[in-house]
Structure 1
Amino acid sequence: MNTVLSRIQEQVSRVDRTRSLMIGISAGLTALWSLYRVFWLFYATATFSSVGWSPVSLVFPLVLWGAIAIATGAVSAAFLLRYAKQP
C-alpha cells in the first residue's frame, strides 16, 4: 500500500547526501524565521488591541506564516533525517 509518506521518502532518498544537508539547514532556518514572524504577529496583535485597533487584520498573516513554519519544519526534518542516515 503506497502512502504519501512513502512517496515523499522515495523522493527525498534520491537527493545527494550533501545537498540534503543544505536543503535541511535552509528549510530549518526558514522555519525559525517563520516562527519569529508568528511571535511578532502575536506581539502586534496585543499592541493593536491595547490602542483600540482590531487585530482581525492580522489573522491572515498569522495563518500564512504558521503554515509556512509547519511545512518548512517538515521538509527540514525529512532532509536532515536523510542526511543522518548512513550512505
Structure 2
Amino acid sequence: MKLVPAALEQHVNRVDRQRALIIGISTGLVAVWSVYRVFWSVYLSLTYDFVFGSLVFPIVLWGVICVAAGLTSAAFIVRYLSDSTADSPQR
C-alpha cells in the first residue's frame, strides 16, 4: 500500500536515511502535540459553551497541522525503514 504519491516519494527517497529518521521523529512529535492541542480545544469547547466560537479556528488549524505532520512523519519513517540494505556497503 502506497502512503504518498509517486512524485512526493521521489523527493523523500532523495533524503539520507539518518536525516529521514530525524525528520520523521520530529514531525511525529509535532503530530502528537497537534493531537493534544485538538483534544484540549475540543474539551474546552464542550465544557464551556461560550468559547466554542472562538475555538473553531484553532481546532481546524491544529487538525490540518496534525494530518500534514502525521503524513510527513509516516513518509520519512517508511523511507528510513526501507532500503536498509541498499545504503550498506557491498562486500
Greater helix share, structure number: 1
Identity of aligned residues (%): 52
The partner residue of 1:73 within 70, 73, 80 is: 70
Q: C-alpha separation between the residues in 1 aligned to 2:70 and 2:9?
A: 15
Q: Which runs of 5+ in 2 are unaligned?
A: none
SS at match of 1:15: coil
Q: Which runs of 5+ in 1 are unaligned?
A: none
Cα-Cα RMSD: 1.2
Which deviations, in whole Å up to 9, do the C-alpha atoms of 1:28-70 show, x marking residues without a partner? 0000000000010011101221xxx151111110000000000
User: What TM-score does the superposition give when structure 1 sets the normalisation length?
Assistant: 0.88
Paired residues, number: 81
- The structure-2 alpha-carbon separation of the partners of 1:15 and 1:36, relative to structure 1 and needing over 3 Å to count, comes to same
